[in-house]
Amino acid sequence: MPVISTLFQHAPSPLERLILPEFESAGLSVWIKRDDLLRMGPGLALCGNKWRKLKYNLAAAKSAGPAQLLTFGGAFSNHIAAVAGAGAAFGLKTIGVIRGEAPPGLNPTLRFARECGMHLHFVNRAAFRSKEDPAFLYRLEQTYGPFYHLPEGGTNEKAIEGAREIVTECQHQQPALQADYWCVSAGTGGTAAGMALEAKPGSKVLAFSALKGDFLKRAIAMLSAGYPTAGDWAVITDFHFGGYAKHRPALLQFLNHFYQQHGIALDPIYTGKLFFGLVDLAKQGFFPKGSTIVAIHTGGLQGIHGFNERFGDLLHYTP
Ligand SMILES: *Cc1c(COP(=O)(O)O)cnc(C)c1O
C-alpha cells in the first residue's frame, strides 16, 4: 500500500486566466483554479474539493488503525462517490449510509460507489437525521466494527486543513496575484471556511450557496471560529436555482455554452451556479472595476452523468 502523502502529489492544480466578454467589459481580471483536474482513483469522483477535504482525513484514517471509512450522504452525493473512490484507490473498506429507502435500481453515483466496493446502508429520512447521534453511530459500529467517521459532506477539521491549501497553493503559484475576491461554491461551507482562514486582509471569500436558506452564514462562522486568522467572507444566496437538483433553462444554456467556449465542464449542482453567478454579478457591476477574482472549480464532475440520466441529456458534454 503506497503512502497517502506520496499519492496526493498531483497538486498544484493549474491556475488559469478565464477570459469572458462580461468580465472584460466590467474591467475584471478573473482566474480559475482548476481543482477539477486533481483526480485520483477510479472515475471522476475523487476530484476537486473532495480531494482537498479527504486528503488529511485519509492520512489520519490510515494511521489511526481501523482501515474502514463510514460516511453519510444523499443518493447523488459527490461526497459519497469521492469516499467510495478513495476506498478503491487506497484499499480501504467503505460504508456509505444513504438517505432514503433503497431504490429498485441504483443511479450512476450509487452504481459507481458499489463498483468501488462501498457497502451501501440505506436508512429512511427520519433515521438519517440522527446521523450525528452517538447512539446511532454506536449501533453502526456494532454492525460494522470500528470505523473512521466522516460526517455528511465530509466537513471536519482535517477537511478545513485541506481546503486552506486551495488559497496557499494559488499564492505560491502566482505570488504577484493579489486576489480581491475568492469565489467558491458552498454546500456545508467547509471549503469556504478553510479558504477564509488563508485569505489575506483586504481580500474576501464569497461563498455561493448551492442550496436555499441562510444556514450557511452560521455554518461558516462556526467552522472558522477559534482560528486566529479568519479573513473576510460573505455568503451569496442569489444563485441556488431552487436547490440541489433544480435547474432552469438559463443555467443549462450557460453550462453548454461555457463548455463550448472554454472546454471546461461545469456541474449543474455547484460549479455551474458559481460561474453563472459570477457572470451575472459582473454584469450587475457588483465587483469594482480593476478587481482580481479567483474562482475555484471544485469538481463535482461525477454528477453530470447522473443528472443527464435523470433529466434526459440536458448537458451536451461529458467531462
Ligand atoms: C461538495 C461540493 C461543494 C461544497 O463544498 P462544501 O465544503 O460542503 O461547502 C462545492 N462544489 C462541489 C463541486 C462539491 O462537490
pLDDT tens digit sequence for 121-160: 999 999 999 999 999 999 999 999 999 999 999 999 999 9
Percentage of the chain beyond pLDDT 90 is 82
Q: What integer pLDDT is reported at residue 8 of this predicted model?
A: 59
Res 306: pLDDT: 86
All 3 cell numbers of residue 293? Answer: 477574482
Q: What is the pLDDT of residue 1?
A: 40
Q: What is the pLDDT of residues 176-233, one digit of tens each?
A: 999 999 999 999 999 999 999 999 999 999 999 999 888 999 999 999 998 887 789 9
Quick check: CB of 50 below 6 Å from ligand 1? yes
What mean pLDDT comes out for the span 105-112? 94
Q: Was domain 48-154 assigned CATH 3.40.50.1100?
A: yes
| Residue 67, pLDDT score | 77
Q: Which atom of ligand 1 is nearest to the CA of 53?
A: 7
Whether 154 lines ligand 1, by a CB cut-off of 6 Å, is no
Instruction: Quote the ligand 1 centre to 142 CA distance (angstroms).
Output: 31
Rounded Cα distance, 314 and 91, in Å: 35
Residue type, 259: Y
| Residue of minimum CA distance from atom 15 in ligand 1 | 300
Residue pair 45/114 in contact (Cβ under 8 Å)? The answer is: no
What band does 316 get if pLDDT is binned at 50, 70 and 90?
A: very high
Indicate whether 7 pLDDT > 80. Answer: no
Alpha helix stretches (DSSP H) within the chain: 4-7, 21-25, 48-64, 78-90, 108-115, 125-128, 134-144, 157-173, 190-198, 215-224, 249-262, 271-284, 302-311
Question: What is the Å distance from ligand 1's center to 267 Cα?
Answer: 11
The structural domains of the chain, with segments of one domain joined by +, span 6-39+164-311, 48-154
* Assigned architecture for domain 6-39+164-311: 3-Layer(aba) Sandwich (3.40)
Which CA distances in Å does 299 have to 44, 82, 303?
9, 11, 9
Looking at every residue in the chain, the average pLDDT score rounds to 93
pTM: 0.95
pLDDT digits (tens, 9 = 90+) for 243-293: 876 778 999 999 999 999 999 999 999 999 999 999 999 999 999 999 999
Q: What is the layout of strands, in order, in the sheet containing 292-296? A: 15-17, 29-33, 292-296, 181-186, 204-209, 232-236
Distance 90 CA to ligand 1 centre (A): 22
- Tell me how far the alpha carbon of residue 298 lies from the centroid of ligand 1, in angstroms: 7
d(CA 147, CA 144): 8
Kindly tell me if the per-residue pLDDT of 42 is higher than 60: yes
pLDDT at 204: 97
How high is the pLDDT of residue 213?
Answer: 81
